[in-house]
C-alpha cells in the first residue's frame, strides 16, 4: 500500500480481514467448548409464538456495532447535494435500481446453479420461524418446512437458499461506514461521499425492507415482514436517531474538534469490538460446517466478489460517460461497490438466526470487503488520467 496513505484507518480497519480470520478460529474453539451456545442465546430472546425473534444479548451487541457508525454522519451535508446532482443521482440509481437485482441474479447463478452440487443438493439449514406463522410441524412456507430442531420449531430450508438470502441482504445494503475510508484513500471528493452516506442512510429506512422483502420472497425464502420492520427499527432507525441527537448535543457543548478527535476515536473501538464479538458468536455456531466443508466460504465469496467488481465497473464506466471529474467518479464507484455489512449481519441474524447460513453469508462479505476494496482503490488511483 505504498501509494496509499492510511492515516485515517485504525489498526482494526486496516487489518479487518485478519481480525475476521481470528474470529473464525476463536469462534470454532468456542463452539467446541460450549456446544449448546445457540440454545443458551435463544433462551435469552423475546419469543413470539414459541419462536425466538430477538436475542437480547445479540441485539445489544448489534446496536453498539451500528450506533458508532450513525454518530459519524453529518446530515447537514445533505443540503450540499444540490450542487452535485449528477453524481448523487448516479449513485442512488446504481445503489437502489441496479445493485440489488444484479446481486440476486449473480448469487442465484453461482449458489443455485453452478455451485449447488458443491454445497450439497440435500444440504439443509434451520432458520427462525417468521413471527405470527402457525408453527404446525410439517407445514410448508416458501421453500422450507417446519420441523423440530434441538427442541425448537424451526424452518428447514435448502442450505444454498439460506446463503442466497444472506447475499440478498448484502446487496440491498449500500455502505455508509467504511466507504468514507475508501473514498479518502482513492483521493475522491470527501464532500460527495459524506452527502451520499447521509442520503443512503435515510433511503435505507424506506427501501431496505421493501427491496429485501421483495427479493427474499422471489427467492422463495420466508419473508418475516414484522421481523424485517423490527430489524430496521432496532438496527437502522434507533441508532440513526440516537446518533443524530448525540452528535448535535456533543458538538453544541464540546465543539466539533472534541467530537472528532476524542469521542469518535472511542466509538470506533466500540463498533469494531461489537462486530468482532458478533462474529465470534456466529462462527462458534457454524464451526462444524466450516471444518467439514471449508470450501463453503469460497462458494459464498465468489458471487460476492463478482458482484463487487461488476457494480464498481458499471458505476465507474457510467461516471466516465457522464463526464464526471475523477474526484466525483471514484467515491461514486466505491459507494456502489461496497456493502453495509453491519446492517446485513444484524438483519440476517434477526430474521433467520445467528446460526443460519444467511448470517454466515453476510459475514463472508466482511471477510472479502477490505482486500477487494483496497484492490479497487489502487485501480482508481492508477486510472485517474481517464477523467478530466
Tell me, what CATH number does 272's domain have? 1.20.1530.20
For residue 89, the model assigns a pLDDT of 87
For residue 53, the model assigns a pLDDT of 59
For residue 4, the model assigns a pLDDT of 40
Rounded to an integer, the average pLDDT of 352-365 is 84
C-alpha grid cell, residue 287: 464451526
Containing structural domain, residue 236: 11-386
For residue 6, the model assigns a pLDDT of 43
Residue 306 has pLDDT above 80, yes or no: yes
Rounded to an integer, the average pLDDT of 129-136 is 65
Task: Choose the weakest-confidence range: 75-84, 144-153, 166-175, 230-239.
Answer: 75-84
Of the two residues 75 and 210, the one the predictor is more confident about is: 210
Query: Phi/psi at 3 (nearest 5 deg)?
Result: -85, 0
Does residue 367 sit within a domain?
yes
Highest mean pLDDT among 229-243, 290-304, 316-330: 316-330
Angle between helix axes 341-352 and 357-382 (nearest 10 degrees) is 170
The pLDDT-based confidence of 224 (bands split at 50, 70, 90) is low
Q: How far apart are CA 219 and CA 322, in angstroms?
A: 34
Does residue 237 sit within a domain?
yes
C-alpha grid cell, residue 291: 471444518
DSSP three-state, residue 263: helix
For residue 3, the model assigns a pLDDT of 39
Of the two residues 130 and 373, the one the predictor is more confident about is: 373
Residue 11 has pLDDT above 80, yes or no: no
Does residue 175 sit within a domain?
yes
For residue 228, the model assigns a pLDDT of 65
Does residue 285 sit within a domain?
yes
Does residue 352 sit within a domain?
yes
Tell me, yes or no, if the pTM score tops 0.85. no
Q: Where are the alpha helices (DSSP H) in the chain?
A: 11-14, 16-33, 37-43, 56-71, 85-93, 99-107, 116-119, 159-171, 179-185, 190-218, 225-232, 238-254, 256-258, 264-292, 296-321, 326-337, 341-352, 357-382
The pLDDT-based confidence of 314 (bands split at 50, 70, 90) is very high
Task: Choose the weakest-confidence range: 11-15, 16-20, 93-97, 239-243.
Answer: 11-15
The pLDDT-based confidence of 48 (bands split at 50, 70, 90) is low
Does residue 2 sit within a domain?
no
Does residue 176 sit within a domain?
yes
The tally of domains found in the chain comes to 1
Does residue 3 sit within a domain?
no
Amino acid at each position: 500500500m505504498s501509494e496509499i496513505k492510511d492515516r485515517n484507518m485504525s489498526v482494526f480497519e486496516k487489518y479487518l480481514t485478519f481480525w475476521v480470520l481470528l474470529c473464525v478460529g476463536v469462534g470454532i474453539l468456542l463452539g467446541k467448548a460450549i456446544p449448546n451456545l445457540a440454545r443458551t442465546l435463544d433462551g435469552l430472546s423475546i419469543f413470539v409464538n414459541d419462536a425466538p425473534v430477538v436475542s437480547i444479548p445479540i441485539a445489544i451487541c448489534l446496536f453498539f456495532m451500528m450506533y458508532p457508525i450513525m454518530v459519524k454522519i453529518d446530515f447537514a451535508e445533505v443540503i450540499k447535494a444540490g450542487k452535485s446532482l449528477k453524481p448523487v443521482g448516479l449513485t442512488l440509481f446504481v445503489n437502489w435500481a441496479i445493485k440489488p437485482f444484479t446481486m440476486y441474479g449473480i448469487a442465484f447463478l453461482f449458489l443455485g446453479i453452478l455451485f449447488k452440487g458443491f454445497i450439497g443438493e440435500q444440504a439443509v439449514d434451520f432458520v427462525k420461524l417468521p413471527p405470527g406463522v402457525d408453527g404446525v410441524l410439517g407445514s410448508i412456507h416458501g421453500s422450507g418446512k417446519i420441523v423440530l430442531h434441538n427442541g425448537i420449531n424451526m424452518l428447514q430450508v435448502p442450505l444454498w437458499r439460506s446463503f442466497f438470502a444472506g447475499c440478498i441482504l448484502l446487496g440491498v445494503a449500500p455502505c455508509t461506514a467504511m466507504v468514507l475510508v475508501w473514498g479518502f484513500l482513492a483521493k475522491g471528493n470527501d464532500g460527495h461521499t459524506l452527502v451520499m452516506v447521509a442520503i443512503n442512510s435515510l433511503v435505507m429506512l424506506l427501501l431496505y425492507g421493501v427491496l429485501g422483502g421483495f427479493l427474499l420472497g422471489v427467492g422463495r425464502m420466508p419473508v418475516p415482514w414484522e421481523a424485517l420492520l423490527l430489524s430496521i427499527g432496532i438496527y437502522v432507525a434507533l441508532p440513526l436517531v440516537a446518533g443524530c441527537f448525540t452528535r448535535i448535543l456533543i458538538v453544541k457543548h464540546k465543539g466539533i474538534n472534541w467530537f472528532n478527535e476524542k469521542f469518535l476515536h472511542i466509538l470506533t473501538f466500540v463498533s469494531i469490538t461489537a462486530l468482532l464479538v458478533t462474529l465470534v458468536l456466529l462462527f462458534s455456531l457454524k464451526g462444524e460446517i466450516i471444518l467439514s466443508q471449508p470450501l463453503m466460504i469460497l462458494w459464498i465469496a465468489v458471487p460476492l466478489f463478482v458482484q463487487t467488481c461488476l457494480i464498481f465497473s458499471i458505476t465507474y464506466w457510467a461516471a466516465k460517460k457522464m463526464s464526471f471529474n475523477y474526484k466525483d467518479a471514484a467515491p461514486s464507484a466505491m459507494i456502489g461497490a461496497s456493502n453495509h455489512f453491519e446492517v446485513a449481519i444484524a438483519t440476517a441474524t434477526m430474521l433467520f438466526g445467528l446460526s443460519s447460513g444467511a448470517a454466515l453469508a453476510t459475514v463472508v462479505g466482511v471477510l472479502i470487503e477490505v482486500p477487494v476494496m483496497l484492490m479497487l482503490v489502487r485501480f482508481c488511483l492508477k486510472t485517474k488520467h481517464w477523467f478530466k
